[in-house]
């Protein structure tokens, strides 16, 4: 059966075009109904909530840095509650915090599981957002991501493009964590040597990532949020418009295939 998910966008993509909140009415006009904020927007959560409400937008998830999750989890919960979030996402760790050994990554995963359980006791889900480094082999052949999400308490916000940039096929990773894919970052990669002014990223649907297939895979894996993202767009409005057009097409195709399957 098809699932009706909100069209979502990561506000990190708008950070180079401040003030970010000025984009909210336009995002709503394009058809987005949900946004994912980052800590750059948490100075005044009540004001951000007011701006979201005025545009008819929700913020069902948000990125919170590891240091804040460690040092002030109460602040994380207050911000998340004010904004109406259901999911707290850790967007990675600074390179200096990466463990150097397999045992270190195991301990790191156990630490994240403790964070996840504390957040769950407060009514929030918890997920880890990956980059490419979690998918690069350790000396024993295992991957950091396997240790990060070893405990079922830790869910995954899978950034498909970063998995692909690590040289791996994202599809089996989405399938392998079915039921634990809290959200997906819908990001695209430009052909090699192009879009250098945008660090090699592309608007959703204009790059190399096979999104029609991966969208279906994510739906089957139970993803609750599909969130458009571009790490360095030269034109945020262009990115937002083109990406929701592509996401609408993927959603419609997925719905049609689900309807045929159920007949």
pLDDT of residue 180: 97
User: How far apart, in whole angstroms, are the C-alpha atoms of residue 105 and residue 120?
Assistant: 22
pLDDT of residue 2: 52
Residue 232, token pair as written in the block: 């360095």
Among candidate residues 197, 241, 226, the one with its CA nearest the CA of residue 23: 241
pLDDT of residue 25: 98
Percent of the chain with pLDDT strictly greater than 90: 94
pLDDT of residue 4: 83
Please write the tens of the pLDDT for every residue from 26-85. 999 999 999 999 999 999 999 999 999 999 999 999 999 999 999 999 999 999 999 999
> For tokens 């991501």, what's the residue?
145
pLDDT of residue 1: 36
Second-level CATH architecture of 7-258: Alpha-Beta Barrel (3.20)
Among candidate residues 119, 54, 124, the one with its CA nearest the CA of residue 84: 124
pLDDT of 263 > 80? The answer is no
Confidence band, pLDDT 50/70/90 cuts, at residue 230: very high
Confidence band, pLDDT 50/70/90 cuts, at residue 157: very high
**What are the extents of the domains in the chain?**
7-258
pLDDT of 257 > 80? The answer is no
The whole-number average pLDDT for the span 204-220 is 97
Question: pTM score, two decimals?
Answer: 0.95
């Amino acid at each position: 059966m098809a699932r009706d998910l909100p069209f979502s966008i990561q506000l990190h993509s708008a950070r180079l075009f401040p003030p970010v909140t000025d984009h909210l009415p336009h995002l709503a006009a394009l058809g987005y109904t949900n946004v994912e904020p980052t800590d750059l927007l948490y100075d005044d959560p009540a004001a951000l909530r007011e701006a979201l409400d005025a545009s008819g937008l929700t913020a069902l998830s948000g990125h919170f840095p590891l240091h804040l999750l460690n040092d002030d989890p109460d602040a994380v919960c207050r911000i998340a509650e004010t904004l109406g979030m259901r999911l707290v996402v850790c967007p990675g760790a600074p390179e200096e915090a990466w463990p150097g050994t397999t045992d270190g990554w195991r301990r790191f995963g156990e630490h994240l599981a403790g964070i996840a359980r504390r957040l769950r006791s407060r009514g929030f889900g918890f997920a880890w957002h990956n980059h490419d480094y979690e998918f690069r082999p350790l000396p024993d052949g295992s991957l950091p991501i396997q240790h990060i999400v070893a405990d079922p308490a830790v869910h995954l916000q899978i950034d498909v493009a970063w998995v692909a940039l690590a040289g791996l096929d994202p599809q089996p990773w989405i399938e392998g964590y079915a039921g634990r894919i809290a959200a997906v970052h819908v990001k695209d990669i430009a052909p090699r040597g192009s879009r250098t002014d945008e660090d090699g990223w592309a608007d959703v649907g204009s790059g190399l990532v096979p999104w029609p297939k991966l969208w279906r895979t994510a739906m089957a894996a139970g993803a609750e949020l599909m969130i458009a993202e571009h790490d360095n767009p030269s034109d945020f409005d262009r990115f937002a418009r083109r990406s929701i057009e592509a996401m609408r097409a993927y959603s419609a195709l997925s719905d049609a295939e689900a309807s045929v399957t159920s007949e």
